[in-house]
Amino acid sequence: MEKFYTDDEAARAHLESLLWPDGPICPRCGVINEATLMQGKSHRPGLYNCRPCDKPFTVTVGTIYERSHIPLHKWVYATHLMTASKKGISAAQLHRMLGFGSYRTAWFMAHRIREAMKGSSGTAPLGGEGQVIEADESYYGKQESPPTLRSDGTPFKTRKYKRQTNMYGSSQKRPIVVLVERGGKARTFHVAEANRETVEKILAANASTDSRLHTDESHLYKRMGKRFAEHASVNHSKDEYARGDVTSNSAEGFFNVFKRGMTGVYQHCGEAYLNRYLVEFEFRHNTRTKLGVNDKERAGLAHKGAAGKRLTLRRPAHSQPSV
Ligand SMILES: [Zn+2]
């Protein structure tokens, strides 16, 4: 086991090497490698003083680890566990493996680490010339079984029953739209309703129209598809899953991993948290071994993400979550 999983000093050195490859960076003035390490017992470990602005700082300033009473090596270990488990790791399991704190501490840590995993597909439109983007929508969440009998005990007629399931489908389950670059990255969207308007907005903002667009037979993509270099679809209702290289298997594969993880590992997820779990599965997809990223590098990317939240996390001290 790496020393930085069990030793605080090693964990700090590890984070410094990841976040400061060219020397300490002052979070206030941004200068690199112009700080003095404050030696001596009266100083916190890893405390630097910036020579230009004469202000002290450490590697955790502005990161998700700042102001945390959790030892740094526990953060490093928890990040490793979360980024290396294919389907995620439950807070209960995390709590057991970290061997400290409470279930609630582990739960908070996991959500902070998900924060660090945000934005793994970048901000640029996905795809591009010669590339395939698969778009698909799916539903996640509780689905109450539709009533099969009327209150007077007579069965619904087929048409009425169908209308009923659709109504349940949109009100009980949570629609998710995913765009997947074939052999590349995925970006997910938790939407209020998966309708044509929503899907078109997502595609317009997140996909390069130079790409070839592959979907299933859904009518949602037909109009927007005309703006792409190509739009081809497979007809799942006719058991067609691939025709030549036309398929939406990557998008469905993403949903399969997500649903297996959510069902098997996380079990419960309030609507308010769905996006955070999507971020987590997206992160692992976008840093998967097939893209040449190993476990250590993947955890490193999450640590860098933790620091990348420096600016966005800067807010009045009273609103800082105390994890
Ligand atoms: Zn400075």
What residues contact 222, with CB distance under 8 A and at least 6 apart?
231
- What is the CATH classification number for the domain harbouring 174? 3.30.420.10
Q: How far apart are CA 68 and CA 276, in angstroms?
A: 20
- Of the two residues 97 and 169, the one the predictor is more confident about is 97
Task: Specify the number of domains making up the chain.
Answer: 2
Question: pLDDT of 64-102, one tens digit each?
Answer: 999 889 999 999 999 999 999 988 999 999 999 999 889
Q: How far is the CA of 113 from the centre of ligand 1 (A)?
A: 27
Q: Which two tokens stand for residue 39?
A: 């030696």
pLDDT at residue number 271: 79
Position 11 pLDDT exceeds 90:
yes
End-to-end CA distance of the chain: give it in Å, rounded. 25
pLDDT tens for residues 298-307? Answer: 999 999 999 8
Q: Is the four-CA dihedral 270, 276, 278, 284 of positive or negative sign?
A: negative
Q: Do 207 and 232 have their domain in common?
A: yes
Q: Report yes or no on 29 lying in a domain.
A: no
Residue 162's pLDDT is 41
Could you list which residues have their CB under 5 Å from ion ligand 1?
Answer: 26, 28-29, 50, 53
CA of 43 to the centre of ligand 1 (A): 18
Distance (angstroms) between ligand 1 centre and the Cα of 37 equals 13
Report the relative pairing of strands 35-37 and 230-234 from DSSP bridges.
unpaired
Quote the pLDDT of residue 150.
59
Is there a domain that residue 194 lies in?
Answer: yes
Q: Are residues 175 and 272 in the same domain?
A: yes
Same domain, 151 and 259: yes
Residue-wise pLDDT tens digits, 213-248: 999 999 999 999 999 999 999 999 899 999 999 999
Q: What separation in Å is there between the alpha carbon of 57 and the centre of ligand 1?
A: 9
Same structural domain, 261 and 309:
no
- Do 15 and 108 lie in one domain? The reply is yes
- Confirm whether 301 is domain-assigned: yes
Of residues 138, 140, 246, 230, the one with CA closest to residue 186: 138
Say yes or no: 301 and 282 in one domain: no
Residue 52 in any domain: the answer is: no
Q: Is the pLDDT of residue 318 over 70?
A: no
Q: What does the pLDDT read at residue 43?
A: 87
What is the predicted pLDDT for the residue at 87? 87
Same domain, 99 and 152: no
Q: How confident is the model at residue 41 (pLDDT cuts 50, 70, 90)?
A: confident
In a domain, 208, yes or no: yes
> Apex CA 119: angle with CA 116 and CA 125, to 5°?
175
Q: How far apart are CA 230 and CA 213, in angstroms?
A: 6
Q: Which residue has the higher pLDDT, 42 or 290?
A: 290
pLDDT for residue 52 is more than 50: yes
Q: Specify whether 271 is located in the same domain as 233.
A: yes
Share of the chain above pLDDT 70, in %: 85
Centre of ligand 1 to C-alpha 267, Å, is: 46
Residue 187 has pLDDT above 90, yes or no: yes
Task: Give the distance (Å) from ligand 1 centre to CA of residue 26.
Answer: 5
Gap from CA of 62 to ligand 1 centroid (Å): 14
Contact 232, 212 (CB under 8 A): yes
Whether 112 and 188 share a structural domain: no
CA of 25 to the centre of ligand 1 (A): 8
Q: Are residues 142 and 241 in the same domain?
A: yes
Q: Please, what is the average pLDDT of the chain?
A: 87
Give the residue-averaged pLDDT of 3-18.
96
Kindly state whether residue 13 falls inside one of the protein's structural domains. yes
Cα–Cα distance for residue pair 93/322, rounded to 1 Å? 22
- Residue 270: its pLDDT value, please? 75
**Pair of tokens at residue 28:** 């206030």
In a domain, 113, yes or no: yes
CA distance 33 to 11: 20
Q: Could you tell me if residue 35 is inside a domain?
A: no
Per the structure, the complete domain to which residue 315 belongs is given by 3-20+59-119+296-319
Of the candidate ranges 31-45, 140-154, 292-306, the one whose mean pLDDT is the lowest: 140-154
Q: Could you give the CA distance from residue 224 to residue 249 in angstroms, rounded to a whole number?
A: 20
Cα of 48 to ligand 1 centre, how many Å?
A: 10
Q: Are residues 74 and 196 in the same domain?
A: no
Q: How far is the CA of 55 from the centre of ligand 1 (A)?
A: 6
Compute, in angstroms, the gap from residue 54 CA to the centroid of ligand 1. Answer: 6
Residues with Cβ < 8 Å from 18, sequence gap 6 or more? Answer: 300, 303, 304
C-beta of residue 281 within 8 angstroms of C-beta of residue 259: no
Q: Quick one: pLDDT at residue 172?
A: 64
Q: Going by DSSP bridges, is the β-strand pair 174-181/132-140 parallel, antiparallel, or unpaired?
A: antiparallel
pTM here is 0.85
Predicted local distance difference test score (pLDDT) of residue 315: 40
Same domain as 171, residue 239: yes
Record the tokens describing residue 75, joined without a space: 């953060």
Three-state SS across the chain?
CCHHHCCHHHHHHHHHHHHCCCCCECCCCCCECCEEECCCCCCCCCCEEECCCCCEECCCCCCCCCCCCCCHHHHHHHHHHHHHCCCCCCHHHHHHHHCCCCHHHHHHHHHHHHHHCCCCCCCCCECCCCCEEEEEEEEECCCCCCCCECCCCCECCHHHHHHHHHHHHHHHCEEEEEEEECCCCEEEEECCCCCHHHHHHHHHHHECCCCEEEEECCHHHHHHHCCCCEEEEECHHHCCCEECCEECHHHHHHHHHHHHHHHHHHCCCCHHHHHHHHHHHHHHHHCCHHHCCCHHHHHHHHHHHHHHCHHHHCCCHHHCCCC
The pLDDT, as a whole number, for residue 145 is 46
